[in-house]
Amino acid sequence: MKKPKPVFAVIRLEHSFTDLSQNAGATPQAAVIVTVKEIVATGEAAEAEVERLNNLNAEKGCRYFWQQTRFVSDDAAA
């Protein structure tokens, strides 16, 4: 088995509120939605993309961040 390769995930975090206006007296429910936008090969690429996306989407109520992870190949030739 090959040694895992470091990769970097660009992640979107947003808050979503369930509209319960049809149900009188109900308390709105909040949820957090986490989406992996993409995986990139370097920390520098991840940082640049996170900065670009946070600037582009500043008013949309979401934030981007990056997280180092690893890619493990299950390739038979590995």
How far apart are alpha carbons 26 and 39 in whole angstroms?
39
Order of strands, sheet of 62-71, starting from the edge strand that comes earlier in the sequence: 29-40, 5-18, 62-71
pLDDT in tens, 45-61: 999 999 999 999 988 88
Q: Which of the four pLDDT bands, split at 50, 70 and 90, describes residue 78?
A: very low
Mean of pLDDT over the chain: 86
pLDDT of 19 reads 61
Residue where the block lists tokens 């493990």? 72
| Closest-CA residue to 61 (of 36, 19, 31) | 31
Number of neighbours of residue 37 by Cβ within 10 angstroms: 14
pTM of the model: 0.75
Q: What's the farthest any 2 CA atoms get from each other in the chain?
A: 61
